[in-house]
Amino acid sequence: MTELRKRMNDAMVLRGLAERTKESYLACVTGLAKYYWLSPDTLDAEAIQSYLLHLITEKKLAYSSVNQAACAFRFLFATVLRQKSVAFDIPMAKVPKRLPQVLTRDEVQRLFAHGGDLRSRAVLMTTYAAGLRLSEVCALQLGDIESAPDRMCIKVRQGKGGKDRYTLLSPRLLDTLRLYWRARRPRLWLFPNSSGDGPLSDQTAQRMYHAARRAAGIEHGGGIHTLRHAFATHLLEAGVDIHTIQRLMGHGHVSTTTRYFHLAHTHLIGTPSPLELLDPD
């Protein structure tokens, strides 16, 4: 796998795939190799289809995860191995569309109040206040916090799709981050790992969220990504226009952002039913 892994990684770098996409694709191909104990370039389409079926029926993976594996295998064979003549009969499963879970403002307040130590509260507050993805909050560096009065923003480096963007820096968040910096004195990474030589891991940030959620008595709420959903929904409820929210969140298409209309209560309350618009008998 070593040579094949290098070839695949090089091909993804040349095509500008995002870091998390590269990691996911390599993990999918590694899983395929371990399942058969064979190099993936020796397998045929039937073997790959059997493996995808195994992921669905035995591993019970979500269809979105299986789709990602199928994309990784297509990339491997068509791009890396240049076997474009090989026909894959791998239907991409339709992923059921569900509305994301969102915390209320009161629940967010309770979450912060039960956030444990100052670092945990700072991580959770930053995720919510800036609408960050998990990977984005973990990768923040001190230089990304632009606190000059005429700037007041956070730079997000290489977000989804490898794109940089700027998002909000709340004055309340800035006060919390300054308290945190005075207590912990991070040097490069805003939230370094325990050894200080790298960024906070995704798993640690998720544990912070779940610990605070349990302590606050919030039964629902999914993972830490719920705070990003709350960011968008609460801004929409406050009257911020959809295109501004799209830019702040780094969505490539406004259609991704418009789903939050379904979650914003202020857009439902007070809206009359068409029945009320009919002439009375």
Residues acting as catalytic residues:
133, 160, 225, 228, 251, 260
Return the structure tokens found at 119: 């670092």
> Going by C-beta distance under 8 Å and a sequence separation of 6 or more, which residues neighbour residue 125?
112, 115, 172, 173, 176
How would you label 79-106 residue by residue, b for 16+ Cβ within 10 Å and e otherwise?
A: bbbeeeeeeeebeeeeeeeeebebbeee
